[in-house]
Structure 1
């Protein structure tokens, strides 16, 4: 009999007890993170980090050039040219996305100039899986043959087709487009603030994820039905600036570290969420969804 992946984790967990040995002591998420070796954390790279400055504070976005290199390059150019300075958050759709950029992008007479950025980019919905370090979850997924983490991002892959792609989990950042797949410039970006819309995977280019400041976006007042677009400009949320972290003086940068997903620490963390054995849980789930796996971020120790 072949065990399903989700049951395999349970079997491995119960094996010591079935053999008469004491199971390893259960550690909660914070205990695991507190005991993580320094080498299990990686520094946030300022060359692939974007700061979205709102009146309420700073949103920190880690970019994903390994999956969307041409979009990320254009985003860097747009940020260097001040494209988003004075732009707005103009869409807040409940249980879906926050969208920001140029509210007049569809009006040639009023659209913001893109400067030296490219006006046309290819769709970057997926990439070749060859050579990609992929930390697979054992759990089944309804949207892809395999799911896990690549380059620190929630991702999926199809080994038979040799393709991999990023997943629309909470906090992921995508590049809005029109009907044609290649109509995104990276100037209009959205952040997932609701239930993971995985049906969008491989249909829109994902360019990164928010690693700090999600509460500044997810708490914004919702726009009207059906799409959440804020038709009244008085309700638009001003953007002070968007900058690449590398262009910000070091004293003004966020000193953040992210847990590496290829470590024993991360594997234990995932298992602690898959089969929680603290006093509250009467029945461990024995399964975890890709978008429910925490991706820890912390301030770098002094």
Structure 2
């Protein structure tokens, strides 16, 4: 009977050593403070539900593209996208959705070709990068986390991964917002200032980026059976209060975000042996998270 008791005694003696853990790491200067996380308003969050119940959440940018976002809100309120589909997936480029037939009438209050909201006069970036950008004289983040660029005269939203734009025909068409696309590949910055960028996917990119690529021209699905049905698109403000998703963006106008950006530009050992010494705007998009 002594041996089991001795074994238990040895185990008990070993427990404190096993339970000991390294002290928590000291806070980094790049860590966000609680006040840095700001709510995305319900009226600025689009919820797209696809076949299988998969959901894609899109933050809208009404400050930069007010006419197009107004159209998009009207389309969501009219349930216009219900029963439409994803009909184009072009590898390393975009996933596009809307009415594949292009025959579905728009709601009467939707403007078919609103103003070309491709750029604006002022620059409201509050961060800066160590190295220049090949597509702009300067790039940075707005205080509320949008990737912005300027040539010193006009400013615009950058076509980064996950950004959402308005599909259009040849100019002077500007697109109503009924057909939208999300960037799923390397940032196509050559589209900057040529198309209205209305928002950014903040969750659910896997349901857009992992789809089979279309075999037709520009990634169009050649067979209707390949279309990915859209069950519904709603503003979060249209949903019952207890069903509304809650997201927060990280504010960029503070020293903590500046430190975060510096870390993105200067990756450290042990993994990184050669830091880049810089980053582009699309490699350092401001974080967005689910509200705790």
- The interval holding the TM-score normalised by the smaller chain is 0.7 to 0.9
Residue 114 (structure 1) aligns with: 107
Structure 1 residues 175-190: aligned runs within 5 Å: 175-190=166-181
1:135 aligned onto 2:127: yes
What does the per-residue CA deviation read over 1:94-148, in whole Å, with 9 as the maximum and x for residues that have no partner? 000000001111xxxx334334312221111101116x35433332100000001
Greater Rg, structure 1 or structure 2?
2
Residue 61 (structure 2) aligns with: 64
Of the three residues 111, 126, 141, the one matched with 2:119 is 126
8 Å CA contact 1:157, 1:164 repeated in 2:
yes
Pair 221,294 (structure 1): closer, same or farther in 2 beyond 3 Å:
same
8 Å CA contact 1:122, 1:182 repeated in 2:
no
Q: Secondary structure at the match of 2:195?
A: coil
Q: Structure 2 length as normaliser, TM-score?
A: 0.86
The gaps in structure 2 that reach 5 residues or longer are: 1-24
Residue 103 (structure 1) aligns with: 100
Q: Secondary structure at the match of 1:126?
A: coil
Residue 293 (structure 1) aligns with: 284
Residue 187 (structure 2) aligns with: 196
Tell me the distance in 2 between the aligned counterparts of 1:276 and 1:192: 25
The gaps in structure 1 that reach 5 residues or longer are: 1-26
Q: Secondary structure at the match of 1:70?
A: helix
What does the per-residue CA deviation read over 1:20-72, in whole Å, with 9 as the maximum and x for residues that have no partner? xxxxxxx99x9667x42111111111111111111241111111111111000
Q: Secondary structure at the match of 2:276?
A: coil
What is the Cα-based RMSD across aligned positions, in Å? 1.9
Tell me the distance in 1 between the aligned counterparts of 2:106 and 2:40: 30
Report the number of matched residues: 266
Tell me the distance in 1 between the aligned counterparts of 2:187 and 2:59: 18
Distance apart, 1:285 and its partner CA: 0.7
Tell me the distance in 1 between the aligned counterparts of 2:187 and 2:51: 27
Distance apart, 1:223 and its partner CA: 0.5
1:229 aligned onto 2:213: no
8 Å CA contact 2:216, 2:222 repeated in 1:
no
Tell me the distance in 1 between the aligned counterparts of 2:163 and 2:201: 6
What does the per-residue CA deviation read over 1:242-283, in whole Å, with 9 as the maximum and x for residues that have no partner? 111111112111122111122222211111111111311111
Distance apart, 1:225 and its partner CA: 4.8
Tell me the distance in 2 between the aligned counterparts of 1:198 and 1:211: 19
8 Å CA contact 1:256, 1:297 repeated in 2:
yes
